[in-house]
Structure 1
Amino acid sequence: MGNFFILIEVTKSNEHQKAKLLIKSRASATMTIYKNNLEHILEELNRIDTIIRLYYEKSKADHIESSQGFQGLYISEDEINAILQTPSFESKAYARSPQEHEKIEKITREINAKKAESINQGKELRLHILSELFHLQPFEVDALLVCLAPELDMRYEKLYSYFQNDVTRKRPSVDLVIKLLCHSTEERLWARDIFSQDAPLIKNRLVYLIGDEQVPLLSKFLKVDDRIINFLLGENAIDQRVRNFSAIIKPQKSFQDLILPEGTITTFRNLINNHSLVKIPMFFFYGPYGSGKKMAAEAICNELGMSMLVVNSKALMKDQALETLKPVLREALLQNSSMYFEGFDGLLKEENMGVTGLLMELDQFPNLIFLSGEQYWEPAGVLKNHSFISQAFPLPSLMLRKRLWESMLDGDAPEDVDIGALAGKFNFSGGQIKDAISTARNILIAKNPGNSKLSMEVLNMGCKAQSNRNLVAFARKIEPHYTWEDIVLPDDIKKQLKEISGYIKYRGIVYTDWGFDKKFSLGKGLNALFSGPSGTGKTMSAEIIARDAGLDLYKIDLSNVVSKYIGETEKNLSKIFKEAETSNAILFFDEADALFGKRSEVKDAHDRYANIEIGYLLQKMEEYEGVVILATNLSKNIDDAFLRRMHFVIDFPFPDENQRKLIWSGIFPKCAPLAGDIDYKFFAERLKLAGGNIKNIALSSAFYAAEESCAIGIHHLMRAAKKEYQKIGKPFLKEEFQPYYKMIEEDGK
């Protein structure tokens, strides 16, 4: 068939108006295959052109003349009479003759044969792919092509306006599509279902129905979705409506790249190689940030030769999730990809998100689905077409952390970097290790742009930047300044404190290298109880241990933890331990009897829940693999269940005279100006106070001396001692502090 244009002139006897109809008929190629996707699209449209020409020839008699200047806007009596004289559902005028029917069938057979051969030879034909993806019937494909035509050639707007007797109706209506493609009453009535909300064209939003709800279905216009148009023309760019919260990834990771427990990788390999699976897997990967969930999904998709559409669930929540999900699912189908939902458990926490509806929608997706979150979750029997497979991604063991550090540093670490120490000190996921190294490099550039070599110091800084970011809501970070030389305690107490420090330093060797972690599922952390009067060195000891071990120390603010509202205390405790676990931070609970006190007899609901809080705290302490130090003035106030779980219970005694003298002799900094009259022996003997009180006296005396612009002398100390006694409610008697009491009498202080 040669290329030609058909020019149809319709002369209106009264108006002398002419409507020109241009249809370009494309020649059918004689090749056995299509050169490309566009050639196939054009030949399918050529077939639609043939159908349109036949329809025109059959429908000319039905175009009733309208009043001049009011075509499509004014209905004449002649039109009404013609309508009333035509039987309902009249279809004889549009029935195809056997010759016409054979002509269309012949073209269809030729295209189908050519299409089949092209597919066999590896040609990508997008219309065929779309038909297969969404299970379109031939009639639905033709309807899609009728709607596609004006998107590619505006001359079809003139055609459709002419057929619909209205110059403003430039898009095909449902009625026009049915008239073009159906040639019997039965076909027309059946074809209405093709445009129902549950039919593939509309359900998958390949085509949109345009028109108010009150408008009859036949009068509604049809428009092909822009993403579908682009897809048919061979474009691969992701739909702009989902671009803000999703992206296509071509997986590069393989199973060899994964640093995960070997059993986890074996599980994935077995699932991929298990061809007896009746249902498609829907994976739920749960674990902390950076624990390898996304990388594992990439490796699985890489093994299967699939791309992956990654969806940010948090961003998805900003819109109506169920409505937004539909174009996302369609995009994944068009890209022939699996789906990976980051932070899916965030959807579960939101009220009215319709999670059941979301899951039912996801269940219709025919490819792999990966859902990721932090906490374990089950879909509770919603799925019909997918097998739900959950997989935990815990924080890596010490051995795996070493491998992660080595892999991510990739030889960029100098000799002074102790990877084993970093792995042991910071209980990081792979993602956190990566972030820590990146932060360390940024710190290095800021400090010295010319130096690109990482050091242990800067890596420690990078690690601490990743740790405990949210812990400040419940705790105050203490910067340790004291050393073992600064504290005055009996030798046996000091020895126990150093044992705690040694436990922290060598826990990696004992639990990992020597295999003790396989013997114990819980209780791998260290719990210590410091008891004794206020000011005897409990907080100072915690600081020294933290500094010696190189760990952060957080003093828990119990006022922000304990809540009068039932269940809130447990939530706060959960946040504290979860946030602290990444860096093995030392959690220091001062005045712990407020939280760890003895359980009471249950007299009301609050007693019962208070006891539940204590039980919950016991559980979190056993699960926590870091260090917890409790401090109390009276150990007898602590619940026995806590005492049984303590690795160390250390009683801090009130300092004797010799210990007080040592405290006094070391209390002033070397650069502080001191008068020669200070009698340390006198103060150690007469001021029977703990180290904390002695520190207060020394500091106050320094301010008194600074005010007078002189060295710190004994009269400043006497004045400060009197104030400290008044503060703690003890009498400062004249006879007990002679001969120096007269100094404060003389100056009236």
Structure 2
Amino acid sequence: MDWSSENQAYLMKLISMIRQQLEWFYQFHVKKNKKATPPDSAIVEKKLKEIAGKMDSPPAIEKLVQRLGLSAFERDILVLCAALELDPGFTDVLASVHNDGSLTQPSFSTALAVLKDAHWSAISPANPLRYWQLIEINNAPLITKSSLKINDHILYYLTGVQYLHPKLREIAEPIYTDGLLAPSQMQLAEEIIKLCTDKNESAQLPYIQFSGIDNADKASVASYVSTKLKLGLFGISAYDVPMNVTEAAELACLWNREAALNDYALFIDCSDIDSNDKNRTYALKSFIRALRGLVIINTHELTLNLKQPTVVFDIKKPSSTEQLSLWKEMSGANGNSEALQLNKLVSQFNLSADAIHKAATEIFSNDLKNQVHNEAYQDVIQKKLWKTCCNYTRPHLDELVERITPVASWDDIVLPDPQKNILRDIAVQVKQRSKVYGDWGFENKGLRGLGISALFAGESGTGKTMASEVLANELQLDLYKIDLSKVVNKYIGETEKNLKRIFDAADDGGAILLFDEADALFGKRSEVKDSHDRYSNIEVSYLLQRMESYRGLAILTTNMKNALDKAFMRRIRFVVQFPFPDAVQRAEIWKKIFPQNTPQKDLSTEKLALLNLPGGSIRNVALNAAFYAAHENSGISMQHITKAAKAEYDKLEKPLTSMEIKGWQ
């Protein structure tokens, strides 16, 4: 027989024992048959031991008794209530005992009269039956006369059907991870396991708090610990904890019951909780303090003063060396990592162990893994590795700022040679940062100044965003545009918080961050006359500090370079001045502005170059002219350009002079 069948047999044997006691009570007390012989409980107990001895794990009822602390009498009350659901003839037995055909439900009074080892404390709300809500009471004027019913979920548990309680299932998700752990993470996991197994059996475990910024690796560590301790792991969000303290306490009690019966551990995600939200933090702390068993609290910066033993573990991402080892292991590239440029990959992307495992599993199908040492496939694998890593570092940043899909290349941008050369220097430094910082040891001199930062200055439409696209294409990196005028917040400290979220999210992939409208934050810093001035300067300093330590490229754009503080300028590595294009440059822009398939009709780039417009406005004119021509089903002519140019000049609130369109008609 399997465990389920044996468990059923054990439970039915207990029900049979209770039925025998009821039938004897009926004969002896109701029928006044003084010759009735009480059942021999020793025979039943012997049979129960025989059944239990054959089982791989204890019967559900005995596990419940042991875990929740029920007495023999309380166990029998629970079995009495279960019998009513599982034995169709049990209602008739109860009616006989009550000597009333309408009384077919058990009560405390029935249990106290019929069952062995009865004690009044079983009725107490503080005792297991009522505290753990194992039974439901249909209140009567006298509690002893109230009818009793077994909790449906507990009935299923006793019959061997195990599932998470519906109230918990609404907010809790099982956590299963098969991701790799780095050696440093494995060491922390083993420390947690030792902490849990060394404790006194009757003592409450300390709360385990995970600090750090990567939720995936923290979940992997928690999953590994739970698996080794033979516990099922469930996760809930701190936002699902009721704000009402009474409701939170009831939820904690329900979890404690389910965790004790089913060997569960709880992972509470508090990573997004605002420490300034006092009401939620108070409710959360009340909830956690009521929990028992293995409780792992995931935080980033929130400090929870639980006034109970708490052990904090800082779960960091794998080191660069560990990440390289994981990539080698997952790719099968041991001894051939240079061919796949795994060092470059690790330098650019700071991935968690979980992300490396998922990305490598996605990339290296059996066929592709077999081609790791085949030179013909290595370039394909390199590009796939790079692209996949970009994908795995996007999600958190995509939630915060706008990602731009770069389409411009070096051939598209029109700039004087000195400016183009600076852009190429920027690309070279980003490409070689691994060699200079890592291999040559510059990173050992401190993190400050290791970030690559640039200031793009010039009027709107002169090519600042296009230059950023060119760099993103050249470096094969994501480009994110952040409007600093929207990031700057009037509330003290909020700007810094917004910037921190952006940099933290971007740091994993070293994406190119394009901070637009830098003048919103980087105007000449004022003398400190009030608290707002002081905090504005703190925000500027914070952004500069993060730019200097950022592992990617940070670009700031401004229309007013002269308005920027010289102290700020000294901390920017590259400055590119985007001039307003002259006639020669405008002609070059016009030559490149139309796609190859665009029909044209007698366009003169020399005449078009007379329009005194920057590149961005030239693109607007060309695009609008294309729509005019398409509507007329003809090629783009000077007439269409004239109409589009007038609309663009009106938008810019500037006059279109006759000299600019001289000879167009």
For the 8 Å contact 2:625–2:644, the answer to whether it is kept is: yes
Secondary structure of 2:663's partner?
A: helix
Secondary structure of 2:125's partner?
A: coil
Q: Deviations over 1:509-533 (max 9, x none)?
A: 4445555555535665322112234
Specify the structure having the higher radius of gyration (Cα).
Answer: 1
Q: Relative CO higher for 1 or 2, CA cutoff 8 Å, sep ≥ 6?
A: 2
Q: C-alpha displacement at 1:199, in angstroms?
A: 0.8
What is the TM-score of this pair, normalised by structure 1? 0.70
* Distance change >3 Å, CA 338–CA 525, structure 1 → 2: farther
Pairs within 5 Å for 1:278-357:
280-287=205-212, 291-304=216-229, 306-313=230-237, 317=241, 321-335=248-262, 337-341=263-267, 343-345=269-271, 354-357=283-286
Tell me the C-alpha RMSD between the 2 structures. Answer: 4.9
Pairs within 5 Å for 1:161-176:
161-176=95-110
* 1:588 corresponding residue in structure 2: 514
Q: Which moved more, 1:142-151 or 1:606-615?
A: 606-615
Secondary structure of 1:296's partner?
A: helix
* 1:74 corresponding residue in structure 2: none
Q: C-alpha displacement at 1:503, in angstroms?
A: 2.3
Q: C-alpha displacement at 1:347, in angstroms?
A: 7.4
Structure 1: distance between partners of 2:395 and 2:227 = 35
Structure 2: distance between partners of 1:716 and 1:247 = 60
Q: C-alpha displacement at 1:358, in angstroms?
A: 1.5
For the 8 Å contact 2:185–2:316, the answer to whether it is kept is: no
* 1:361 corresponding residue in structure 2: 290
Q: In structure 2, what residue type is equivalent to 1:359?
A: I
1:210 maps to 2:133? no
* Distance change >3 Å, CA 150–CA 668, structure 1 → 2: closer
* 1:625 corresponding residue in structure 2: 551
> Which of 379, 382, 397 in structure 1 is aligned with 2:304?
379
Structure 1: distance between partners of 2:404 and 2:174 = 45
> Which of 499, 506, 516 in structure 1 is aligned with 2:432?
506
1:650 maps to 2:576? yes
> Which of 180, 184, 201 in structure 2 is aligned with 1:258?
180
Q: C-alpha displacement at 1:632, in angstroms?
A: 1.0
Q: In structure 1, what residue type is equivalent to 2:433?
A: R
* 1:392 corresponding residue in structure 2: 314
Q: Which moved more, 1:476-485 or 1:617-626?
A: 617-626
Structure 2: distance between partners of 1:221 and 1:410 = 67
Q: C-alpha displacement at 1:474, in angstroms?
A: 6.0
1:178 maps to 2:112? yes
* Distance change >3 Å, CA 328–CA 276, structure 1 → 2: closer
> Which of 538, 545, 548 in structure 1 is aligned with 2:464?
538
Pairs within 5 Å for 1:124-203:
124-181=58-115, 191-203=119-131
1:743 maps to 2:634? no
* 1:482 corresponding residue in structure 2: 408
1:270 maps to 2:191? yes
Structure 2: distance between partners of 1:521 and 1:123 = 56
Q: In structure 1, what residue type is equivalent to 2:26?
A: Y
* Distance change >3 Å, CA 197–CA 522, structure 1 → 2: farther
Question: Which structure 1 residue ranges, 5 or more long, are not aligned?
Answer: 1-34, 64-95, 443-452
Pairs within 5 Å for 1:717-728:
none
| Percent identity of paired positions between Structure 1 and Structure 2 | 33
Structure 2: distance between partners of 1:396 and 1:591 = 36
* Distance change >3 Å, CA 311–CA 475, structure 1 → 2: closer
Q: C-alpha displacement at 1:341, in angstroms?
A: 2.2
Corresponding pairs, count: 636
For the 8 Å contact 1:209–1:221, the answer to whether it is kept is: yes
* 1:429 corresponding residue in structure 2: 352
For the 8 Å contact 1:474–1:560, the answer to whether it is kept is: no
* Distance change >3 Å, CA 131–CA 234, structure 1 → 2: same
Secondary structure of 2:313's partner?
A: strand
Q: C-alpha displacement at 1:687, in angstroms?
A: 7.1
1:59 maps to 2:24? no
Q: C-alpha displacement at 1:139, in angstroms?
A: 2.7
Structure 1: distance between partners of 2:207 and 2:137 = 33
For the 8 Å contact 1:531–1:652, the answer to whether it is kept is: yes
Q: Which moved more, 1:626-635 or 1:135-144?
A: 135-144
Structure 2: distance between partners of 1:546 and 1:482 = 9
Q: Which moved more, 1:670-679 or 1:275-284?
A: 670-679
